[in-house]
Amino acid sequence: IDIEGLSGVRSLSHVSFAMVEQATNTAISIVELPETRLNHSLVVARVMEAIMRNNAFFEDKVNIGIIAALLHDKQTPASGDATKSLDPAVFQEEDHWRENLDEEAWELIEGTGADFEMIDEIIHNRGVLGEILDIADKIGYVMLDVKQIGLDPVIRDLGNIYKDVRYDKVRDEVYFTDPERLKVFLGIRAKLFRDVYINPYSQSIDYIFARLLSPYYSRDENEEGQLLPEQLRVITDDDLKKFLAEKYGVEPWFMFDTKNGWFPDFVHCTSEEEANERAEEVKQDPENKFIGIKRGYGFNSATDFKVKDPESGTIMPFKQYEPLFAKALDQTAERTKGYFVVYTKRLDPDWAVFIPEA
């Protein structure tokens, strides 16, 4: 199965880990997160395989699980979430995994006894194997990013959390055997979402990039000179930057990048009405260039994962086993929601100079 093209698509789009100075709420340094969707897919496939072998699945099922894991991100577009935000309904990679699969890949799939419907169910996280893939996916990206930003993965031997995943064939349930290790994992994952994945600085950069791409994207094949979804699913991040650099007259093309450590300014609002009011205030300052309003949707705290109570042996959702901690995770997710008024200073040397006034 050829997924080599994912080596040119960063897992986290334009996200970098911003060290924020609390007093001024400004980013003072960044840590690049260079992992690619290829790295992620390979790690997820290995975790999927390990979990299934630990639970004595038959070999044909293990192979089906590995194939689904390798394919689950195959159709991620160039620049990932930034591009997906332009047209979420079209850029759900789970809905397009079969595009561009060659005859050899289909022979491999059919050779395991699987078909389109079976792989599709797993990739959409349905059924037992779909549930295991969802767990493997989360373990894969969390552990890769923990390593990149320097969080300590040795806490409760966190890297071995995949060994805690069990499948009860009688009850047809997937659960974790060590609730305390899952607690640490979910806490670190929430921290990654809050401070990295949907950090307002990172979201703002994605938003600006989407605004730059927007005039040159179309679903319609009749729109001349615009990129179609099918094209964006096969080109790399650098291909897209080169395309946009040419459109905006940036030379050399690699200057069209975020690695200069620049971050936009933003105001976090709790309602659309408040965001519109603050946007008008931002526009009143002639030094500001208003970019737009970006909505933050939060994240799934994953407290529905099931655990086995080590004392009673009862299998229950984590949020039932640790209700107070689960509530804290949900509150963290809730605080990342809202409306972000994005703007920049007119003298900043950044991408925003190319964006028309919103």
Predicted TM-score (pTM) of this structure: 0.90
Q: How far is Cα of residue 102 from the mean position of the Cα atoms in its chain?
A: 27
DSSP 8-state class, residue 257: S
Between 167 and 28, name the one with better pLDDT: 167
Q: Among 12-16, 118-122, 193-197, whose mean pLDDT is lowest?
A: 12-16
The Cα 319–Cα 328 span in angstroms is 10
* Residue-wise pLDDT tens digits, 73-104: 999 999 999 899 999 989 999 999 998 888 88
User: What is the structure's pLDDT at 27?
Assistant: 57
Q: pLDDT grade, residue 185 (50/70/90)?
A: very high
- Quick check: 260 pLDDT over 50? no
Percent of the chain past pLDDT 70, that is, above it, reads 87
Q: Return d(Cα 157, Cα 161) in angstroms, integer.
A: 8
Contact assessment for residue 351 and residue 272, using Cβ atoms and an 8 Å cutoff: no
pLDDT band at 206 (very low <50, low <70, confident <90, very high): confident
pLDDT attached to residue 210: 87
Residues 6+ apart with CB under 8 A from 34: 10, 148
Pairing between β-strand 26-32 and β-strand 16-21 as defined by DSSP bridges = antiparallel
Q: Provide the token pair at 263.
A: 């971050």
CA distance 277 to 280: 5
Which whole number is the average pLDDT over 184-197?
91
pLDDT of residue 281: 96
* Cβ pair 229, 78 in contact under 8 A: no
Say how far apart CA 120 and CA 256 lie, in whole Å.
37
Say what the pLDDT of residue 265 is: 82
What does the DSSP 8-state code read for residue 162? Answer: G
Rounded to whole angstroms, the Cα distance separating 347 from 191 reads 33
Q: Is the pLDDT of residue 156 over 80?
A: no
Distance between CA atoms of residues 339 and 204, nearest Å = 11
Structure token pair of residue 143: 């552990």
Residue 351 has pLDDT above 70, yes or no: no
| Residue 170 to residue 158: CA distance in whole angstroms | 28
Task: Give the pLDDT of residue 339.
Answer: 94
Question: What tens digit of pLDDT does each residue of 47-63 get?
Answer: 999 999 999 999 999 99
Highest mean pLDDT among 77-81, 130-134, 220-224, 263-267: 130-134
Identify the weakest region by mean pLDDT among 144-153, 224-233, 275-284: 144-153
Alpha-carbon distance of 43 to 151, in angstroms, equals: 19
Q: Say yes or no to pLDDT of 121 above 80.
A: yes
Q: Is 140 in contact with 189 (CB distance < 8 Å)?
A: no
Nearest to 166 by CA among 153, 185, 179: 179
Q: Residue 177 pLDDT > 90, yes or no?
A: yes
Query: Is residue 27 within a helix (H) or strand (E), and if so which, with residue range?
Result: strand 26-32
Q: What does the alpha-carbon distance between residue 166 and residue 54 come to, in Å, rounded to a whole number? A: 8
Query: Could you tell me the CA-to-CA distances from 203 to 198, 199, 243, 341 in Å, in that order?
Result: 6, 6, 22, 11
pLDDT band of 251, cuts 50, 70, 90? confident
Looking at residue 253, its pLDDT comes to: 67
Cβ atoms of 201 and 18 within 8 Å: the answer is: yes
